[in-house]
C-alpha cells in the first residue's frame, strides 16, 4: 500500500519535473532572444532583454508609456512609433491601429515584442514621465464638493514638472471598478516644491476616481501616480496673461501663478475665477495674498448667482461677461483657460472678439 502510494507520487513528480525542466531549457534556449538595442528618437540607446513586450522593456528602463490596462492589450493607449525593425502587425494589435497609424508604423507597445534591434520614436516629454509611489499627506475640503489632496512623493522622491501639467492618478480595484484605472488631474502645487503633488478633485456622481478620492481615500494611504504630462503650461514670453478658470480648473492656474511668484516674474497677470455662489469659492485668501507677492497681479472672482446671505461685494455675472468687461489686455496678451468644455468654448469666443489671436489662447478642457 505504502509502496504503491510512494511509486505513484514519484512517477507524477518525475513527469512534472521532466516537463518543467523541458520548459526551463526551452525558456533559456528557444525563448532566449539575447539583448536587443532600442534606439529612441535617434539618439538615446537602451539595451534590454529581448523577447519581452516593448512596453515592459521601456518601463524597466524608466521610460514610462501611458497605459491604462497595464499591458493587457485592452485599452489601446500605449502606442509607440517603431520606425526600424518593427516587422508585421500582430492580430492582437490590429483592433487598435487605424489605417493612418499603420502607415506611420505606430504599434501597440504592450503587444509588440522586442526580438531584434529596433528604433522607436516617442514624444520627448515622455522621458521625464515616471511612475511615483506617494503617500497621502493631507486631505482638505475646499468646498462642499472639491477636495484638495496633498501627496508626498516616496519613490522617486522628487518630480520635475512645469506649472500647469497633469498626472495620472491610479485608482485601485474597489467597489466601482474591478481593475485599476487611471484618471488625469492637473497639479495645483508649485514646481519648486519637488517633493509634493497637490490635486484638486471635484466629486462627480458615480465617477470612479472622484468617488474613490472623496469616499475612500484616507491620510497615510499609498497612491500611485504617473506623469507629468501635457502642454498646458506658461509660455516663456513677456506678454500680459489672462487666466480664466472655474471649479477645480483652479488647480493648474494656481500652479502657474505660484510659479510666477516663485520666480519673481514681472509679467502682468489677471485671474478671473467663475463660480455660482459663495459656497463654490475657495482659496480666496491664498489668491489675494498673491496680489502683494507678484509684480502686477489681480484676482477677480465672480459669482453668477450670488445668494442674499453671501453678502457678495465682488463682480457678478457670467464669467464671460466679466472677462468682456475687464480684460483690457486681450489684444496683446495670452490666455490660459481651465474648466468645463462649455466654459472654455464661450471664453475663447469672447477673447477672440476682444482681439486675441487664437494661437495665443491655451486651454485645458475637462472631459
Partner 1 sequence: MSDIFFPLAVFFAAVFTNNILLTNYLGMCSFLSVSKELETSAGLGIAVTFVMAVTTALNWLVYEFVLVPFQLEYLRFIVFIIVIAAFVQLIEMIIERYSEGLYFALGIFLPLITVNCAILGASLFMVIREYTFMTSFFFGLGSGLGWFLAILAMAGIRQRLRTAKIPAGLEGPGISLVIAGFMAMAFMGFNGMITIS
H or E stretch at 87: none
Which listed range, 8-16, 120-128, 203-211, 314-322, lies at the site for partner 1 (CB under 8 A)? 8-16
192-221 mask for partner 1 (x: CB under 8 A)? ------------------------------
* Residue at grid coordinates 472623496: 214
DSSP string, 207-225: -HHHHIIIII--TT-EEEE
Counting contacts by CB under 8 A, is residue 24 touching partner 1?
no
Counting contacts by CB under 8 A, is residue 332 touching partner 1?
no
Decide whether 4 or 367 has the Cβ nearer to partner 1. Answer: 4
Counting contacts by CB under 8 A, is residue 295 touching partner 1?
no
Q: Quick check: 120 and 65 in contact, CB under 8 A?
A: no
Which listed range, 20-28, 137-145, 208-216, 307-315, lies at the site for partner 1 (CB under 8 A)? 20-28
Residue 109 phi, psi dihedral angles, 5° rounding: -70, -15
Closest approach of Cβ 113 to partner 1, in Å? 8
Counting contacts by CB under 8 A, is residue 22 touching partner 1?
yes
DSSP string, 190-202: -TT-TTEEEEEEE
Decide whether 27 or 328 has the Cβ nearer to partner 1. Answer: 27
DSSP state of 124: G
Compute how many residues bind partner 1; rule: CB under 8 A.
Answer: 20
Counting contacts by CB under 8 A, is residue 11 touching partner 1?
yes
- Of 226, 213, 219, which is closest to residue 156 (Cα–Cα)? 226
Residue 215 phi, psi dihedral angles, 5° rounding: -105, -20
Counting contacts by CB under 8 A, is residue 19 touching partner 1?
yes
- Of 258, 284, 283, 244, which is closest to residue 364 (Cα–Cα)? 244
Q: Which residue in 13, 17, 31, 138 binds partner 1 (CB under 8 A)?
A: 31
Closest approach of Cβ 6 to partner 1, in Å? 11
CB neighbour list of residue 127: distance below 8 Å, 6 or more residues apart: 44, 63
Decide whether 30 or 103 has the Cβ nearer to partner 1. Answer: 30
Which listed range, 22-30, 189-197, 211-219, 316-324, lies at the site for partner 1 (CB under 8 A)? 22-30
Closest approach of Cβ 40 to partner 1, in Å? 24
In the three-class reduction of DSSP (H, G, I as helix; E, B as strand; rest coil), residue 102 is classed as helix
Closest approach of Cβ 25 to partner 1, in Å? 10
* Residue at grid coordinates 474648466: 339
Closest approach of Cβ 8 to partner 1, in Å? 5
Closest approach of Cβ 107 to partner 1, in Å? 14
Report the alpha-carbon distance of residue 133 to residue 172 in Å, rounded. 13
Which listed range, 6-14, 36-44, 303-311, 313-321, lies at the site for partner 1 (CB under 8 A)? 6-14
Residues 63-102 that bind partner 1 (CB under 8 A): 87-88, 90-92
Report the alpha-carbon distance of residue 143 to residue 155 in Å, rounded. 31
> How far are the Cα atoms of 79, 105, 202, 300 from residue 323, in angstroms, in the given order?
40, 45, 24, 9
Binding site for partner 1 (CB under 8 A): 4, 7-8, 11-12, 15-16, 19, 22-23, 26-27, 30-31, 33, 87-88, 90-92
Amino acid at each position: 500500500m505504502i509502496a504503491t502510494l510512494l511509486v505513484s507520487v514519484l512517477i507524477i513528480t518525475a513527469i512534472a519535473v521532466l516537463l518543467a525542466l523541458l520548459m526551463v531549457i526551452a525558456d533559456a534556449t528557444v525563448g532566449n532572444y539575447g539583448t536587443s538595442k532600442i534606439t529612441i528618437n535617434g539618439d538615446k540607446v537602451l539595451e534590454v532583454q529581448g523577447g519581452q513586450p516593448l512596453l515592459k522593456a521601456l518601463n524597466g528602463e524608466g521610460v514610462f508609456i501611458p497605459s491604462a490596462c497595464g499591458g493587457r492589450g485592452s485599452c489601446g493607449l500605449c502606442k509607440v512609433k517603431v520606425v526600424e525593425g518593427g516587422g508585421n502587425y500582430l492580430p492582437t494589435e490590429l483592433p487598435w491601429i487605424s489605417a493612418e497609424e499603420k502607415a506611420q508604423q505606430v504599434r501597440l507597445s504592450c503587444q509588440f515584442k522586442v526580438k531584434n534591434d529596433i528604433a522607436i520614436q516617442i514624444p520627448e516629454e515622455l522621458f521625464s514621465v515616471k511612475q511615483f509611489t506617494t503617500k497621502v499627506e493631507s486631505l482638505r475640503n475646499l468646498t462642499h464638493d472639491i477636495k484638495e489632496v496633498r501627496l508626498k512623493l516616496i519613490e522617486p522622491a522628487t518630480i520635475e514638472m512645469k506649472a500647469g501639467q497633469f498626472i495620472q492618478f491610479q485608482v485601485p480595484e474597489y467597489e466601482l471598478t474591478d481593475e485599476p484605472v487611471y484618471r488625469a488631474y492637473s497639479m495645483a502645487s508649485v514646481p519648486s516644491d519637488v517633493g509634493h503633488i497637490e490635486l484638486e478633485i471635484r466629486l462627480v456622481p458615480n465617477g470612479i476616481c472622484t468617488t474613490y478620492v472623496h469616499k475612500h481615500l484616507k491620510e497615510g494611504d499609498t497612491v500611485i501616480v504617473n506623469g507629468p504630462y501635457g502642454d498646458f503650461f506658461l509660455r516663456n514670453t513677456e506678454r500680459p496673461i489672462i487666466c480664466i478658470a472655474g471649479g477645480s480648473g483652479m488647480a493648474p492656474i494656481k500652479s502657474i501663478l505660484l510659479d510666477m511668484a516663485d520666480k519673481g516674474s514681472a509679467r502682468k497677470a489677471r485671474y478671473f475665477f467663475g463660480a455660482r455662489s459663495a459656497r463654490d469659492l475657495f482659496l480666496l485668501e491664498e489668491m489675494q495674498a498673491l496680489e502683494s507677492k507678484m509684480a502686477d497681479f489681480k484676482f477677480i472672482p465672480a459669482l453668477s448667482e450670488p445668494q442674499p446671505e453671501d453678502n457678495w461685494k465682488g463682480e457678478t455675472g457670467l464669467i464671460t461677461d466679466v472677462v468682456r468687461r475687464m480684460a483690457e489686455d486681450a489684444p496683446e496678451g495670452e490666455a490660459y483657460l481651465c474648466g468645463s468644455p462649455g466654459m472654455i468654448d464661450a471664453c475663447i469666443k469672447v477673447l477672440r472678439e476682444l482681439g486675441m489671436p487664437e494661437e495665443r489662447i491655451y486651454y485645458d478642457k475637462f472631459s
